[in-house]
């Protein structure tokens, strides 16, 4: 071997050696095997070896150290079991791998992690811009710590709304262009939902298995949809009849379904029965249609809407 | 896994981790064109040659030809026919399993996916890599009517007639379009299409398409690499558009989060002052009505009463 070996080359040779040998090797034995690849001085060689070992471990290669007995008592030796870092065969069929490739070509989640997964499965990333695409982007730097939190059950620590939070992450949900962490918040002593893009600064994580996820936790129901938000409140009435002009009625029907149609009028306008228990959410929904929608009943909701409008019409923001 | 990052010279760890992914991938294929492989792994051909040449001199003692990694380049092809080392891929990291699973879950919700198809069975196998039997990630893709029709039109090159509602202008238009790409972003579905009316590539939000009629005329279908000028609703920063400055109370944070702004200043009381471009007075009036007293126009002065004027117009329905 050349005496001037790059660190990358030396790391590959070190890994190859440790994988090939069934017995643990001491640093002295490793240096003998690798020839002049490590510096000649003991201190420099140890430093270089420690750096190689650390970087290989960070790649997911578990280099184990064992303490020898007998003539070498107390000396550290190193080994790597290839089964501990090699991917086991998932038994994917060619068609299944192609389906995953197609999914990865269509759905964008970040620059690297999904593609790396595909390569490891023997697949390929799509090189052309797809004709269909879905964007559920999650910050590439943040993804490992979030995934470790939920998969390995590590408590996560971060700043949210200016407060330090310690969260037991039960799951991650992507909806409406945002990612959410759903979990138990130590600060509030209750279950909370956190929007990932609102997390300030760096997320740190505890050790694996630092919390238990409740058996009855249902991720799909953890974050309310817009329609559920309309239903979730203490309003005086649970539903309102809203007349929507013909121009917008098809869109409301598509949003709330045929079951929400109370009456179809001859001019194409439709009376819908819409949840309104959460009046703040109801206002945002109703006024998106401006003058093309009108609450017909019940009287108390109609009065409330009229009061909102009167209050706003009387507003003087000129100063 | 850090392949594909383009930040200055590559370090030893980046080169080694890349090779540990590339070598098993290559050994499964035996022969790959150099240019294709470089593109696949986001490397220049020179970088790939450097990495492969380095791998070719690595192996195990005594570093004789039969103890080295058997990879070489011949007439523009990368060849690795005799696996000696690193023939199995590394285990996937938690982030990689998470990313690919999320992509698969999202793709499962697209038109054409089936509950028992190849993607579904691939996801079952992939989930075995997660330690928990519980779902830890969920992706909700908006289910919008007509997405499947547009996808079909993209594939076939069929021209279609749409009735499109634009809340920006509060009107609707009929347009003959040739769909070229369908995509989901920020929780909404869009179609990029050649628009006969304007003669340009335009982007339409699919939930604002009220009617769709297949015309039975066909052009050459798109083949990928199609771009798309963002048009219509997305022209937020057009110079000709009116700029307004709004004072947004903390309770109306959804305004800041939902719409692009040009600048934002946070105030000590939690409110924010944002400057945004608006495409019509109607659109801004709608926003002010929905937000109520939580949003106020600061500039221009002549728009400070827009909320009051909009409310007065809607109030006519309630007298």
How many domains is chain A built from?
4
B64/A contact by beta carbon, under 8 A: no
Element containing residue B124 per DSSP (H, E): helix B118-127
Does domain B242-318 fall under CATH 3.30.40.10? My reply is no
Is there a domain that residue A62 lies in? yes
How far, in Å, CA of A99 to CA of B125, rounded?
13
For chain A, the 3-state helix, strand and coil shares in percent, each to the nearest 5, are 40, 25, 35
Q: What residues in B contact A151, CB-CB < 8 Å?
A: 94, 97-98, 130-132, 136
Is there a domain that residue A1 lies in? no
User: Which residue is it, tokens 């070992």?
Assistant: A53
Is there a domain that residue A23 lies in? yes
* Domain limits for position A104: 94-135
Is there a domain that residue A318 lies in? no
Q: What residues in B contact A170, CB-CB < 8 Å?
A: 136
Which of A223, A239, A257 lies at the terminal end of a domain, its last residue?
A: A223
Give the CATH fold of the B147-234 domain.
Answer: SH3 type barrels. (2.30.30)
Q: Does the pLDDT of residue A2 top 50, yes or no?
A: no
Cβ-contact B151, A106 below 8 angstroms: no
Q: Average pLDDT for residues B97-113, to the nearest whole number?
A: 91
pLDDT digits (tens, 9 = 90+) for B194-211: 998 888 888 889 988 888
How far, in Å, CA of B295 to CA of A34, rounded?
70
DSSP 3-state assignment of A218? coil
pLDDT of residue B188: 86
Residue B53's pLDDT band (boundaries 50, 70, 90)?
very high
pLDDT of residue B231: 35
Element containing residue B255 per DSSP (H, E): helix B253-258
pLDDT digits (tens, 9 = 90+) for A81-132: 988 899 988 999 999 999 999 999 999 887 688 999 999 999 998 887 788 8
- My answer on whether A37 and A103 are in the same domain is no
Residue A229's pLDDT band (boundaries 50, 70, 90)?
confident
CATH code for residues B12-79: 1.10.10
pLDDT of residue B149: 93
pLDDT digits (tens, 9 = 90+) for A10-54: 999 999 999 999 899 999 999 999 988 999 899 999 999 999 999
Q: What residues in B contact A91, CB-CB < 8 Å?
A: 125
- My answer on whether A61 and A49 are in the same domain is yes
- My answer on whether A219 and A231 are in the same domain is no
Is there a domain that residue A39 lies in? yes
How far, in Å, CA of B49 to CA of B158, rounded?
45
Is there a domain that residue A319 lies in? no
Q: Which of B54, B95, B165 sits opposite A144 (nearest CB)?
A: B95
Higher pLDDT, B182 or B165: B182
pLDDT of residue B241: 65
Q: For all residues of chain A together, what is the average pLDDT?
A: 89
Q: What is the distance in angstroms between the Cα of A238 and the nearest Cα belonging to chain B?
A: 20
pLDDT of residue A226: 75
Q: Does the pLDDT of residue A203 top 90, yes or no?
A: yes
- My answer on whether A194 and A161 are in the same domain is yes
Which of A223, A246, A262 lies at the terminal end of a domain, its last residue?
A: A223
User: Is the pTM higher than 0.80?
Assistant: no
Q: Do residue B1 and residue A112 have CB atoms under 8 angstroms apart?
A: yes
Q: What is the per-residue DSSP string for B171-192?
A: EEEEEEEEEEEEEEETTEEEEE
B63/A contact by beta carbon, under 8 A: yes
Q: Average pLDDT for residues A210-238, to the nearest whole number?
A: 81
Asked which of A142-146, A301-305, B58-62, B281-285 is least confident by mean pLDDT, the reply is B281-285
Q: Which of A56, A103, A133 sits opposite B183 (nearest CB)?
A: A133
- Domain residues of chain B, as ranges? 12-79, 94-141, 147-234, 242-318
Residue-wise burial string across B288-298, b where 16 or more C-beta atoms lie within 10 A, e elsewhere: bbbbbebbbbe
What CATH number did the domain enclosing A259 receive? 3.30.70
pLDDT of residue A98: 93
Residue A150's alpha-carbon distances to A109, A223, B107, B125, in angstroms, are 17, 16, 22, 19
Q: Do residue B142 and residue A9 have CB atoms under 8 angstroms apart?
A: no
Q: Which residues pair with A263 in a beta bridge?
A: A271
Q: Does the pLDDT of residue B5 top 60, yes or no?
A: no
Q: Does the pLDDT of residue B15 top 70, yes or no?
A: yes
Q: What residues in B contact A308, CB-CB < 8 Å?
A: 292, 311
Closest alpha carbon to B96 in A91, A144, A97, A59: A144
- My answer on whether A234 and A211 are in the same domain is no
Name the percent of chain B lying above pLDDT 70: 89
pLDDT digits (tens, 9 = 90+) for B215-274: 999 988 876 544 433 333 443 334 456 789 999 998 887 787 777 778 888 888 888 899
**What spatial distance separates the first Cα and last Cα of chain A, rounded to whole Å?**
82
Higher pLDDT, A299 or B4: A299
> What does the DSSP 8-state code read for residue B66?
G
DSSP 3-state assignment of A53? helix
> What does the DSSP 8-state code read for residue B220?
P
- My answer on whether A72 and A27 are in the same domain is yes
CA angle A280, A285, A289 (to 5 degrees): 135
Return residues 99-158 of B near A (CB < 8 Å): 99-100, 102-104, 106-108, 110, 117-119, 121-122, 125-126, 128-132, 134-142, 144-145, 151, 154-155
């Amino acid at each position: 071997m050349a005496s001037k070996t790059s660190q990358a080359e030396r790391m590959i040779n070190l890994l190859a050696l440790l994988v090939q040998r069934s017995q643990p090797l001491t640093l002295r034995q490793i240096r003998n095997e690798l020839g002049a690849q490590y510096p000649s001085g003991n201190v420099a060689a140890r430093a270089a070896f420690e750096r190689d070992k650390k970087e290989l471990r960070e790649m997911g290669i578990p280099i184990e150290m064992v303490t020898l007995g007998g003539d070498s008592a107390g000396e550290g030796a190193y080994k790597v079991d290839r089964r501990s870092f090699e991917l086991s065969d998932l038994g994917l069929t060619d068609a299944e791998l192609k389906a995953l490739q197609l999914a990865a070509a269509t759905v964008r989640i970040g620059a690297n992690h999904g593609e790396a997964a595909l390569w490891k499965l023997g697949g390929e990333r799509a090189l052309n811009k797809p004709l269909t695409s879905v964007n559920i982007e999650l910050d590439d730097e943040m993804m490992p710590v979030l995934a470790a939190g939920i998969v390995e059950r590590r408590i996560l620590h971060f700043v949210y709304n200016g407060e330090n939070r310690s969260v037991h992450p039960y799951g991650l949900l992507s909806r409406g262009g945002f990612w959410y962490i759903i979990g138990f918040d130590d600060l509030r002593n209750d279950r909370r939902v956190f929007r990932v893009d609102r997390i300030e600064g760096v997320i740190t994580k505890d050790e694996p298995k630092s919390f238990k996820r409740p058996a009855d936790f249902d991720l799909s129901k953890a974050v309310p949809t817009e329609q559920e938000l309309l239903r979730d409140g203490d309003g005086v009435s649970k539903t309102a009849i809203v007349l929507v002009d013909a121009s917008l009625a098809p869109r409301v029907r598509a949003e709330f379904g045929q079951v929400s149609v109370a009456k179809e009028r001859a001019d194409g306008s439709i009376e819908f029965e819409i949840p309104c228990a959460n009046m703040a959410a109801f206002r945002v929904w109703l006024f998106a249609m401006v003058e093309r929608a009108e609450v017909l009943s019940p009287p108390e909701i109609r009065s409330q809407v009229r009061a909102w409008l009167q209050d706003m019409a009387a507003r003087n923001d000129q100063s | 896994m850090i392949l594909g990052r383009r930040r200055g010279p590559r370090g030893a760890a980046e080169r080694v981790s890349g090779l540990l992914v590339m070598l098993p991938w290559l050994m499964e294929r035996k022969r790959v064109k150099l240019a294709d492989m470089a593109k696949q792994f986001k490397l220049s051909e020179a970088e790939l040659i450097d990495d492969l040449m380095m791998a070719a001199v690595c192996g195990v003692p005594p570093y004789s030809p039969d103890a080295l990694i058997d990879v070489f380049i011949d007439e523009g092809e990368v060849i690795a026919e005799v696996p000696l080392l690193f023939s199995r891929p590394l285990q996937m990291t938690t982030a990689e399993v998470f990313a690919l699973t999320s992509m698969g879950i999202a793709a499962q919700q697209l038109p054409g996916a089936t509950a028992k198809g190849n993607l579904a069975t691939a996801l079952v196998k992939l989930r075995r890599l997660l330690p928990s039997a519980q779902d830890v990630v969920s992706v909700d893709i908006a289910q919008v009517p007509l997405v499947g029709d547009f996808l079909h039109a993209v594939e076939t090159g069929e021209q279609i007639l749409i009735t499109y509602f634009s809340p920006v202008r509060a009107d609707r238009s009929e347009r003959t379009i040739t769909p070229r790409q369908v995509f989901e972003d920020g929780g909404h579905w869009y179609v990029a299409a050649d628009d006969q009316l304007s003669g340009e590539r335009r982007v339409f939000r699919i939930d604002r398409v009220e009617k769709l009629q297949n015309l039975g005329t066909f052009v050459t279908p798109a083949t990928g690499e199609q771009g798309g000028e963002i048009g219509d609703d997305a022209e937020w920063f057009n110079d000709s558009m009116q700029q307004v400055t709004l004072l947004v109370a903390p309770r109306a944070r959804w305004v800041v989060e939902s719409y692009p702004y040009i600048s934002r200043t946070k105030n000590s009381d939690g409110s924010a002052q944002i400057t945004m471009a608006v495409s019509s007075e109607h659109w801004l009036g709608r926003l002010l009505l929905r937000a109520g007293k939580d949003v106020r126009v600061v500039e221009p002065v002549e728009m400070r009463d827009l909320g009051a004027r909009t409310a007065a117009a809607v109030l006519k329905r309630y007298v």
